[in-house]
Amino acid sequence: MLLSSGSTGPPKAVRREVSPAPLLPTLTALLNGPELRARAPTLLTIPLFHGHGLMTLGLCLAMGAPLHLFARGTPELYWQALTERDIEVLVLVPTVLYRLLETPSPGRAGRLRTIVCGSAPLGAGLATRALSRFGPLLSNLYGGSEFGLVSLATPGHLLAAPDSVGSVLPGVRVSVRRADGTPAPFGEVVVRGSMATGRPGSGQGTGDLGRLTPSGRLTLAGRLDDLLIIGGENVSPEAVEARIAELGYVRECAVVGVPSEEYGQALAVLIVLHGGQGGVTRERVELDLRSRLPRMLRPARVTFVEELPRNALGKLVRRRLTVDGDVEEGGRAAGAGPAAGDG
């Protein structure tokens, strides 16, 4: 039994009955892609109750690799382990990767050979920063508790297309479908494979939106249940957030839908600023976004917050995002209270 992450609701128990033989091609590609090797010291920053953490534990046991864990890890402790424990493989989520990049290193992680990121969307900007900081060591793994492993972006994939989740793994079949089930260039990602829990032959809907190229490269574009309809157009929050995050003073952000007479729905944005940027105002944000977003996608409301609500894996918990009232210059909106952590 595995627990789903609970980012869109309470965690669900997922029963797994997997035959090793059909899974072998997938696991072989998983080992060869990031170039994992036997007895390589591994640092795991993900809870063991989650599928990604459990998979890492199983691989380390199978390969005789020492596994380093922290009950309550911090970027400082992770850096210390990387520099003092000869860690060769680092397994993390994008939030931990971001915090490592923001935390000064006490030394050089000279033995680090592979970084495996997964369990949450890896932004193109963060992937590019990590590749610049660590070199071509970063891989991005896409999968889910209910449908198993799907694709792997190697360092080569990320250097060419940092917003991609890479190529579909052997033994897995992926299609992209409209709401009526017909094939589409953009739509819900549907998975068939030995780990998917859907009906045989029908595939397992992932709830993720994406595009699949003829060569098998997959790019995600948010969650199906997070889509907003603005001026009659389907809008992915993640796409808008990526443009807002390009502003140098934005550490992270999230957009939510609010009622609009003109568009039916409009966007409100919650912004976490980088340290030392407390003087940034709503007017500054609005001015800077004029050249980056069309009018109907520019936020109608701007809220500055200390942090965004995330669960134990670092995933953004959108159902806990709230925006109340208007923002004063350089301040927080009254009642805009997304709390840290969930699940």
Please indicate whether residue 71 or residue 33 has the higher confidence score (pLDDT): 71
**Mean pLDDT throughout 201-219?**
87
Distance in angstroms (rounded) separating the CA atoms of residues 241 and 268: 11
Give the pLDDT of residue 328. 35
Extents of the domains making up the chain: 2-223, 227-320
Mean pLDDT of 33-42: 85
Highest mean pLDDT among 31-45, 205-219, 321-335: 205-219
Instruction: Give me Rg for the CA atoms of the chain.
Output: 20
pLDDT for the residue numbered 36: 80
Split at pLDDT 50, 70, 90, the class of 244 is very high
At residue 298, the pLDDT reads 94
pLDDT at 2: 65
Instruction: Indicate whether 30 pLDDT > 80.
Output: no
Q: Which band of pLDDT confidence, cut at 50, 70 and 90, is reported for residue 198? A: low
With helix as H, strand as E and coil as C, how does the chain read?
Answer: CEECCCCCCCCCEECCCCCHHHHHHHHHHHHHCCCCCCCCCEEECCCCCCHHHHHHHHHHHHHCCCEECCCCCCHHHHHHHHHHCCCCEEEECHHHHHHHHHCCCCCCCCCCCEEEEECCCCCHHHHHHHHHHHCCCEEEEEEECCCEEEEEECHHHHHHCCCCCCEECCCEEEEEECCCCCECCEEEEEEEECCCCCCCCCCEEEEEEEEECCCCEEEEEEEHHHCEEECCEEECHHHHHHHHCCCCCEEEEEEEEEEECCCEEEEEEEEEECCCCCCCCHHHHHHHHCCCCCHHHCCCEEEECCCCCECCCCCECHHHCCCCCCCCCCCCCCCCCCCCCCC
Question: CATH topology for 227-320?
Answer: GMP Synthetase; Chain A, domain 3 (3.30.300)
pLDDT for residue 223: 86
pTM over 0.85: no
| Average pLDDT rounded to a whole number, residues 95-106 | 90
pLDDT at position 14 is 67
Four-way CATH pick for 2-223: 3.40.50.12780, 3.40.30.10, 3.40.50.720, 3.40.50.2300: 3.40.50.12780
pLDDT reported for residue 92: 94
pLDDT score recorded for residue 6: 53
- Check residue 4 and give its pLDDT: 65
Q: In the predicted model, is pLDDT for residue 78 greater than 60?
A: yes
Instruction: Give the pLDDT score at 214.
Output: 83
pLDDT band, very low/low/confident/very high, at 23 (cuts 50, 70, 90): low
pLDDT at residue 302 in the model? 95
pLDDT tier at 272, thresholds 50, 70, 90: very high
Query: Mean pLDDT over residues 167-196, rounded?
Result: 87
Average pLDDT, stretch 154-170? 93
Tokens representing 166 are 């890479």
Residue 334 has pLDDT above 50, yes or no: no
Q: What is the pLDDT of residues 280-298, one digit of tens each?
A: 999 999 999 999 999 999 9
Q: For residues 258 and 268, is the Cβ–Cβ distance under 8 A? A: yes
The predicted model gives 16-24 an average pLDDT of: 63
